[in-house]
């Protein structure tokens, strides 16, 4: 089965832009209770996933930084410690199972690398449970 059937479209996904500040990202992540969030550039291209850990490591490296200073640090200046790759919309579900073991979601892009949505781990698990229950009949 094609992964497109499980995608949560971009219009329903919360994300941040790489020209936003750490503070803007933290506020969005706190509001939605996210520990990781996709990062896009101004053209809508997926550039990576920002995690709480990325922000914490960045703050640790800047010992003199206080919370107010996070208003001046852009996300494109924050090193990301995990390289979470996006996957093409044409991929089969079976091809993303291993990826979903280490991530809460898998970013999905089109042929131009434009972010079009994500597949959440819970949708993958629900799909597998449905397959299993259909196989038991």
pLDDT in tens, the chain (137 residues): 788 889 999 999 999 999 999 999 999 999 999 999 999 999 999 999 999 999 999 888 887 777 788 899 999 999 999 888 899 988 888 888 888 888 889 999 999 999 999 999 999 999 889 888 887 55
Count how many domains the chain has.
1
pLDDT on residue 69: 84
Contact 52, 36 (CB under 8 A): yes
- What CATH number is associated with residue 53? 3.10.580.10
CA-nearest of 117, 97, 94 to 107 is 117
Contact 38, 9 (CB under 8 A): no
CA-nearest of 96, 89, 88, 65 to 78 is 65
| pTM (2 d.p.) | 0.88
What sign does the CA torsion over 87, 75, 64, 27 have?
A: negative
pLDDT on residue 6: 92
CA-nearest of 73, 133, 79, 99 to 3 is 99
Q: Domain range holding 103?
A: 3-135
> SS3 breakdown of the chain: % helix, strand, coil, rounded to 5?
45, 25, 30
């Amino acid at each position: 089965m094609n992964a497109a059937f499980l995608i949560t479209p971009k219009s329903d996904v919360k994300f941040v832009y790489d020209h936003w500040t750490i503070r803007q990202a933290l506020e969005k992540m706190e509001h939605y209770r996210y520990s990781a969030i996709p990062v896009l550039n101004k053209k809508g291209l997926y550039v990576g996933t920002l995690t709480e850990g990325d922000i914490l490591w960045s703050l640790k490296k800047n010992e003199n930084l206080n919370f107010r200073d996070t208003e001046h640090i852009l996300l494109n200046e924050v090193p990301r410690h995990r390289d979470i790759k996006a996957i093409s919309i044409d991929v089969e579900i079976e091809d993303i199972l291993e990826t979903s073991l280490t991530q809460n979601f898998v970013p999905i892009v089109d042929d131009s690398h434009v972010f079009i949505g994500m597949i959440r781990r819970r949708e993958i698990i629900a799909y597998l449970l449905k397959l299993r229950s259909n196989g038991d009949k």
